[in-house]
Amino acid sequence: FYKVTDKQATLRAIELTQKEGIIVGFSTGAVLDILLTNSNKFKTNDTVVLICHDDGAKYLSKIFNSEWVANLPTI
């Protein structure tokens, strides 16, 4: 098990949207954070699959609202 804060998940979801144009939700942001944080554990020939199992449409007023994100606590 890995612990990911709401802020970490949010920032990764925003990053994916900005870099790849894929709008995702908190769950995908959390999985992406775990993947990138642990990327040094993978070998060159390893295959990694990230399934984006949620979209960000229902989070437009949260994840993609800079005021809301600025008020997220850091834990």
The three-state secondary structure class of 14 is helix
Whole-structure pTM over 0.75, yes or no?
yes
Tally of CB atoms within 10 A around 68: 13
pLDDT score recorded for residue 38: 93
For the stretch 2-12, pLDDT in tens is: 999 988 999 99
Q: Is pLDDT above 70 for 33?
A: yes
- Tens of pLDDT, residues 37-75: 999 999 999 999 988 877 888 878 888 778 888 888 776
